[in-house]
Amino acid sequence: MPDTRVPRLPRRVVAGYAAGSVGTGGFGVLPGLVLAYYLTDTLGVAALVASIVVVVPKAVDVIVNPVIGAISDRQARATGTRTRLMWIGAAAIAPTFVLTFAAPTSFGPAAAAVWVLVLFTAGALAYACFQVPYIALPAELTAGYDERTRLISVRIAVLALTILVVGAGAPAIRDAFDDAAVGYLAMAVTAALLIAAGMSVSTSLAATRARPLPTVADPRTHHRDAFTAFRTSTHYRVLLIVYVLQALASAVMLAGAQYLATYVLDDSGALTYLFAALVGPALLVMPVWMRVGTRYGKRAALLAASVLFGLAALGLTGAMVGSGPWIFALVALAGVGYAGMQTFPLAMLPDVIDEVSAARGRDQGGALSGLWTAGETFGLALGPGAYLLVLAATGFVSSTGDETHAQTDVAVAGIAAGFSLLPAVLIAVSILVLLRYERN
């Protein structure tokens, strides 16, 4: 039902909140798109080792992010806003992100892997300082069921545009340089400035307008609150598991796009078109998804989006035996589903935060968002790691920036299978879990 008694959010607040997706989208997609390829095909790191490098930093987030969420809740009660941590994240993200892609090639693959591991972990912590309170904001910006869908849908549209620009533009910057290491550094500097700018604008325009939910009883919030909610709240547990599985599926596909372009389509530049096909539809179909969610409910809309993405991914298994323009069409179909999969879990989360906060007697927004963000970032990192394990199992041979090794037919089939079959299976599992989410 429409929210007739809840005032519409001012456009300035909606735009300010959406601006944060410039930061989250840039950091969320670019490492997932190019970091694994940077490790294996520029630094010469073996695929199995590279899988560890991209997963470990986000594994740290599973422990740290709920703590950041608890700190954010305490700061919100004390100061009325969550901006302090958000400003810390916005300031620290640029240097850590740039240094991640500045590994000295003269050190050799082992030292380069350690360099990336340390700096990417630091960048992930900086990102968490912004992302955790940012995810908690919708519950505080509006109490309207449909107004939250509006807020998130605008944010996802900006997110899709950011992903499209960064995902297509960043590799183009990299490829403009003959020296791959220099190209990655130039790419990182450009992207870092954009990411930091988006975070700063959002903190200035949206976060300062939010107010924490009323608190009752115990004035403290511990990081244990998130795990308690995960154990006791079916809605929170199911929604988080679904979101992590779907983040993992999309991250696997993003990680495989460069390999698919290079070794299946025989054109490394095809990455730009693959990326545009996956993300571009979101800019067109977001108003449609918003209407579907309003009419049929967020759960039903998320289920429809998941089925669409899963069917498209399953169809892409045909790339294991051949390639052609049909690949781009199916990727675009997956992109339509991807838009809904990004929108509705985030639109449902504020409703769950309200439900858990009411049951616990105090604001749980930061704590629940902390575990949510930890799960999301872990899924986004595990995606490239899982894809690299498929490559390692099928005999993929890593390269340095000066040479590119030919791959066996089995390795090429593994590249295609990792891009298609693995995401399809993950989405199928997420659908089974989502069916356990009872309608509100």
- Whose tokens are 């730009």? That residue is 272
Task: List all residues 6 or more positions away from 86 whose beta carbon is below 8 Å from its beta carbon.
Answer: 129, 130, 133, 134, 199, 202, 203, 207
Q: Is 178 exposed, middle or buried (0-12, 13-18, 19+ CB in 10 A)?
A: exposed
Domain ranges across the chain: 12-213+220-434
How far CA 35 is from CA of 27, 70, 167, 188, in Å, comes to 11, 30, 12, 11
Question: What was the pLDDT predicted at 355?
Answer: 84
Please give the structure tokens belonging to residue 32: 């997932």
Report the interhelical angle of 224-232 vs 326-360 (nearest 10°): 100
CATH 1.20.1050.10 fits 12-213+220-434, yes or no: no
pTM of the predicted model as reported, rounded to 2 decimal places: 0.71
For the chain, 440 residues long, give each residue's pLDDT as a single digit of tens: 445 466 787 888 888 888 998 998 889 778 877 888 899 888 888 888 888 888 888 778 778 887 888 888 787 777 777 888 999 999 999 999 999 999 988 888 999 999 999 999 999 899 989 988 888 788 777 777 777 778 888 887 888 788 888 877 888 899 899 888 899 999 999 999 999 999 999 988 766 665 544 443 343 445 577 778 888 888 999 999 999 999 999 889 888 888 888 888 888 778 778 878 887 787 788 888 888 988 898 999 999 999 999 999 999 999 888 888 899 999 999 999 998 998 899 888 888 888 887 777 766 677 787 778 777 777 877 888 888 889 888 888 776 555 566 778 888 889 999 999 999 999 999 999 999 987 65
